[in-house]
Amino acid sequence: MTPKKTILRALAGEVLPTPPVWMMRQAGRYLPEYRATRAQAGDFLSLCYNPELAAEVTFQPIRRYGFDAAILFADILLLPQALGADLWFETGEGPRLSTISTAADMARLKPADAIHDHLAPVYETVRILAKGLPAETTLIGFAGAPWTVATYMIAGRGTPDQGPAHAMIQGNRALFQQVIDLLTASTIEYLSAQIDAGAEVVKLFDSWAGSLKGQDFHDFAVEPARAITAALKARHPGIPVIAFPRGAGTAYEGLHAAIGADCIALDDGVTAEWAAAHVQTGGCVQGNLASSHMVSGGQDLIDETRRVVRAFSKGPHIFNLGHGITPDADPENVALMVETIRNG
């Protein structure tokens, strides 16, 4: 019998002698081979919707580093586009979308189950990956969490403080709840289709969860993640779910139980030592080396990698960065991190 994949073992709660490792944004601009394939595709969105090339960039970091997981190459903003929002990327600035500020804007969006034709190329990418990955590599599908996707749909772009979304919560909570409900329902559809196509784990990226506090954190970060996780597990018994409410801080405590997720991913705003005592007690954790070490490297990278491994060594752990690797990272530093995790 082939041994179960390391990522799946950690997600099932097993404490492994060496934590499995992958990196957020592991297919990205820090890699020359990614830049070449992206140029071949033309632009970022064309790359996302080209199954052969999207699969190719997903394979690249697996070939180079032998990561334990591959994450589908796509973007969290493809879902709002499938719902009918306009989406484009301004060079050097990031994403732009048509905005939602009224009930009429909301009414123009499609229903949750109408997304699949638009997203068919993504499902095809998943199928290519499921066939082509090494036997020991776990395939992770993903979506943005409803709150984070809503912040882009309401503002029409990334914002430092998610001001427009918070303003809608203040001014028209019922309308905001409709946005969240549509995103929750369509995210269940989207992830369910990724699982049908071969994703073995799914991850919810809530990059802006840190700006939600108190009741809003519960209603717009915890509750949608709980509802998505419950629906996916009902449709696909045993499917592991990773939730990443980035910036949750002390609110990371208790989230395994509150969301029903198999793993809580941690950013580097909490220390590994604190998280081992307060979050890992609830189940598997993922994280949380500061991604700046992929730029700076050296002995600090080695020391910090060892510290994170050691801090989480008594419970189930998947090694990752605290956020995505940045374009200015040195590929050699990634190799050094992987070597340090695997060989001490």
Nearer to ligand CP3 (CB atom), residue 19 or residue 28: 28
Residue 84, SS3 per DSSP: coil
Cα(15)–Cα(285) distance, rounded to whole angstroms?
Answer: 11
User: Could you say whether residue 76 binds ligand CP3 (CB under 6 A)?
Assistant: yes
Contact 19, 11 (CB under 8 A): no
Nearer to ligand CP3 (CB atom), residue 77 or residue 308: 77
Pairing type for strands 94-97 and 87-90 reads antiparallel
User: Could you say whether residue 41 binds ligand CP3 (CB under 6 A)?
Assistant: no
Nearer to ligand CP3 (CB atom), residue 232 or residue 311: 232
Cα(264)–Cα(138) distance, rounded to whole angstroms?
Answer: 17
Cα(119)–Cα(141) distance, rounded to whole angstroms?
Answer: 13
User: Could you say whether residue 207 binds ligand CP3 (CB under 6 A)?
Assistant: yes
Q: Helices in 291-330 by DSSP H: which ranges? A: 293-296, 298-311
Nearer to ligand CP3 (CB atom), residue 14 or residue 161: 161
Cα(179)–Cα(326) distance, rounded to whole angstroms?
Answer: 30
Which residue, judged by CB position, is nearest to ligand CP3 in the bound state? Answer: 207
User: Could you say whether residue 77 binds ligand CP3 (CB under 6 A)?
Assistant: yes
Answer for which of 12, 18, 33, 75 binds ligand CP3 (CB under 6 A) is 75
**Contact window for ligand CP3 (CB under 6 A) among 11-19, 25-33, 167-175, 217-225:** 25-33
Report whether the peptide linkage leading into residue 288 is cis, meaning its omega lies within 30 degrees of zero.
yes
User: Could you say whether residue 111 binds ligand CP3 (CB under 6 A)?
Assistant: no
Residue 65 belongs to what H/E stretch? helix 51-65
Q: What amino acid occupies position 333?
A: N
Answer for which of 42, 94, 134, 163 binds ligand CP3 (CB under 6 A) is 94
Cα→Cα distances 308→228, 271, 294, 319, 344, Å: 30, 9, 15, 8, 12
User: Could you say whether residue 96 binds ligand CP3 (CB under 6 A)?
Assistant: no
Whole-number minimum distance, CB 317 to ligand CP3, in Å?
Answer: 19
User: Could you say whether residue 274 binds ligand CP3 (CB under 6 A)?
Assistant: no
User: Could you say whether residue 217 binds ligand CP3 (CB under 6 A)?
Assistant: no
User: Could you say whether residue 269 binds ligand CP3 (CB under 6 A)?
Assistant: no
Bridge partners for 141 per DSSP: 202
Whole-number minimum distance, CB 310 to ligand CP3, in Å?
Answer: 26
User: Could you say whether residue 285 binds ligand CP3 (CB under 6 A)?
Assistant: no
Answer for which of 59, 65, 142, 252 binds ligand CP3 (CB under 6 A) is 142
**Contact window for ligand CP3 (CB under 6 A) among 26-34, 171-179, 219-227, 230-238:** 26-34
Expressed in angstroms, the distance from the first to the final Cα of the chain is 28
User: Could you say whether residue 249 binds ligand CP3 (CB under 6 A)?
Assistant: no
Count of positions on this chain that bind ligand CP3 (CB under 6 A): 22
User: Could you say whether residue 71 binds ligand CP3 (CB under 6 A)?
Assistant: yes
Nearer to ligand CP3 (CB atom), residue 189 or residue 206: 206
The single-letter DSSP state of residue 14 is -
Nearer to ligand CP3 (CB atom), residue 31 or residue 276: 31
Q: What amino acid occupies position 151?
A: T
Find the length of the chain.
344
Query: What is the rounded radius of gyration, in angstroms, for the C-alpha atoms of the chain?
Result: 19
Closest CA to 78 of 218, 193, 176, 178: 193
Q: Give how far the C-alpha of residue 122 lies from the chain's centroid of Cα atoms, to the nearest Å.
A: 15
Cα→Cα distances 56→24, 45, 132, Å: 17, 15, 10
Nearer to ligand CP3 (CB atom), residue 94 or residue 134: 94
Whole-number minimum distance, CB 35 to ligand CP3, in Å?
Answer: 8
User: Could you say whether residue 218 binds ligand CP3 (CB under 6 A)?
Assistant: no
**Residue ranges that bind ligand CP3, judged by CB under 6 A:** 24-29, 38, 44, 71, 73-77, 94-95, 142, 144, 158, 205, 207, 324
